[in-house]
Chain A
């Protein structure tokens, strides 16, 4: 091999690195190494002048490999790859040594930090010498989209995508579209009709020429990778079933939630006391237009209890986010239907964080509702009233603000049941290859910066299936997911990172040790050839299979044995 010409750049990161690491000393040590043509230190390597310095040096000194000792490659590897590419080098000919997070930020002793920075930079130097030029791949992007779940979320995403020109397959398990909102009467906080909202959406979806609606249907398999998935959908008709298959480039998961099972909270007597009902049962009453007890009487006392199954140690620790406003909505609806009814609202905290919610709360508290606060994990207790009482039930509350034990009458108790991940969320997660958190909600790629994407390219999550939220937040996510997909499909193809695992067919013994290992399901086994292959577009280069393959058939590009050994040797010199 021709003698390599390597440039080494040690960043001071303002004083972030330089205050602990002696950057000049690192430069001095590196400049004496064979192959190093240029070694410099600079205040901010990632700044424009920093990058331009590298570019100018590449051109002036004919450098062909670059080492940047600076921050984490997670931060600026793309920056430096782009810079050296501008100068005409293959973008993979740069290696970073992390002397900030791994040195100056974690060590106080300047000598120790400097020694370590030098060792890490030596490692990068030895490694970069072994780098191979890599080319990014481009794969075709099928514009069609699969949307799983036909609630507000799925319908909104489907419409946005179809309006944008993409064909959408909308798969809904139930016989009708609408999801949980279709079970609601008025929506908080503006008291618009849920029925109108859903009807408008359903009509547009069903009439849209670019949306295929498949009700009574479920996705039974999803194979392939971003841009090139094949979905298989099973549809159950009255007397039979049919299977359809189609190609899609991206998937939106919008499977929503189910309500918490109120009978799990035993001291509320749900299922035993006939007039203890859930919010959804109350919505049904509202939609039917008559608020009444099981016995058909108009209730004189209505009590609403918040956080049923939510914000509790025993059940779910999270807040379900919509129950507080829904409870206020009920207080309002009861009052307007039965003006002389006494409504009490038993809550832990009033969560009114959304747009218009605080005003709604204010209006609710003016409407002569009795608000009682109870402490988390100190539930009210409901019991049947005695013959002398003028009500059906009595609720005992340790009222937190007054510090008193208060007993309130009730003819009808509404339990504000929280939201819960669906029973089959695990199966759905496996189907599309994404993960769930401890509560069963799907996990996003980044909780703050990348909320609707997942760690599997081409799979998006939106609406409540990712965590409890109200309709406006659901709609925003649905449109965000659709927007992400539209932006990706408009180009017709996508670039795939050049770093992935490859299987050398000649060396693969077909032992199948790697087959069940890939967290992204990137490995397939060809039974006729008796060999395994990695689908490079799916592989995330995690390295699990590379380490496992006992016959050394799997190589991770950019993380080859010789590169890693060279790096270790460099660190140890």
Chain B
């Protein structure tokens, strides 16, 4: 590898841009990478055309970093393209890894999304309430935009993925370590989650843990939580129990509960299901009515427990495409 510069592509699918910023946040490191690598595609930072990628030989790229989920036909097309052209494909960030925040849309329907975005959104002017169609005729010409799918896919539901870097967005230090390892060819077994640890967040969280028995759940702003005691046992839903460590315990050490962005710890198939059973297990009551009341303090639990993982969940709706 020493004689030839590394060939790299970075791409965003259904993403917010945060992941690309996380790469930029590695600061001078990314310049070092640039010194040893040719960045062939990086929509947020550099020019590059799909047709240039299409023209490449299979396997010409050494590394493709894909952030964001797969929401439309364009995302899917590029995912296939990068897979074909790159030796390594990395799912970068929670969206590519698990579907992420955009994946929450899988709880509703395509029709409802389009309705909300293009018809009911109060900021849309009258006369402008047009739902975009995949194909439009304009002045006798056929125009095409990417097809909006019924659901969001995580990257490996669409193409084969070599490595996963979790986080929303991944922590810059982890990104640096991981890219360095890839550059040096110090690669873990294919399919590994990299840039994170092999245990749950609580292990690294400095808050004191006691037996957990909760009589009431609070939204974070409803309670002045003790700064040294586990948030979950104070009734603030913290996902750290069912989340892979790697972020540096960013949230609980800043006084707010973990939202689970690093995904499930190794061996856990479904993060949301685990959170549901963990939360159910610490409810301190045997009386059905009281339990009902305590659980009523958890608004929209599905979106909470699956904030990043709807698309990766065991339970999937059946879609007739």
Contacts and interface: CB of A to CB of B under 8 A. Distances in A.
Given A507-B265, A509-B200, A552 B274 contact: yes
Interface stretch (B89-97, B206-214, B291-299): B206-214
Contact of A509 (B202, B211, B213): B202
A550 B276 CA distance: 9
B269 A551 contact: no
Interface in B258-314: 264-269, 274-275, 277-278, 280-282
B211 A551 contact: no
A239 interface: no
B275 A513 contact: no
A511 B211 CA distance: 9
B211 A550 contact: no
Contacts of B266: 507, 552
Contacts of A548: 277-278, 280-281
B177 interface: no
A553 B201 CA distance: 13
B199 A507 contact: yes
A514 B267 CA distance: 17
Contact of A550 (B200, B209, B245): B200
Interface residues of A, number: 23
Contact of A513 (B198, B203, B212, B268): B212
B267 A550 contact: no
B165 interface: no
Interface in A533-565: 544, 547-553, 561
B82 interface: no
A547 B277 contact: yes
Given A512-B210, A550-B274, A552-B274, A507 B240 contact: no
**Interface range on chain B: under 10, 10 to 19, 20 to 34, or 35 or more?**
20 to 34
A549 B213 CA distance: 15
A5 to B, nearest CB: 30
A515 interface: yes
A517 interface: yes
A224 interface: no
Contacts of A511: 200, 202, 209, 212, 230, 232, 240-241
A552 B268 contact: yes
A51 to B, nearest CB: 38
A514 to B, nearest CB: 7
B242 interface: yes
B278 A513 contact: yes
Residue among B200, B233, B265, B269 having the largest count of chain A Cβ atoms under 10 Å: B200
B267 A552 contact: yes
A134 interface: no
Contact of B209 (A510, A517, A553): A510
A544 B241 contact: no
Contacts of A544: 281
Interface string A504-525: 0011111111111100000001
B244 to A, nearest CB: 9
Contacts of A507: 198-200, 265-267
A552 B280 CA distance: 16
A525 B242 CA distance: 19
A551 B265 contact: yes
A113 to B, nearest CB: 27
B212 A551 contact: no
A509 B200 CA distance: 6
A512 B209 contact: yes
A515 B275 CA distance: 16
Interface in B233-247: 233, 240-242, 245
Contacts of A551: 199-200, 202, 241-242, 265, 267-268, 274
Contacts of A516: 211-213, 282
A544 B232 CA distance: 19
Nearest to A531: B203
Interface string B213-239: 100000000000000001011000000
Given A507-B199, A550-B274, A517 B281 contact: yes
Contacts of A512: 209-212, 230, 233
Given A516-B212, A552-B264, A509 B241 contact: yes
Contacts of B230: 511-512
B282 A513 contact: yes
Contacts of A513: 212, 241, 278, 281-282
Contacts of B265: 507, 509, 550-552
Given A513-B278, A530-B209, A552-B264, 16 more contacts: A506-B198, A507-B267, A509-B265, A510-B209, A511-B200, A511-B232, A512-B212, A513-B212, A513-B282, A515-B211, A547-B277, A549-B274, A550-B265, A550-B274, A551-B242, A551-B268
Nearest first, the 4 A-B pairs at minimum CB distance are A551-B200, A550-B242, A509-B200, A552-B267
24 contacts: A507-B198, A507-B200, A509-B200, A509-B245, A510-B202, A510-B209, A511-B202, A511-B212, A511-B240, A512-B209, A512-B210, A512-B212, A512-B233, A515-B212, A516-B212, A516-B282, A547-B281, A548-B278, A550-B241, A550-B268, A550-B278, A552-B264, A552-B274, A561-B269
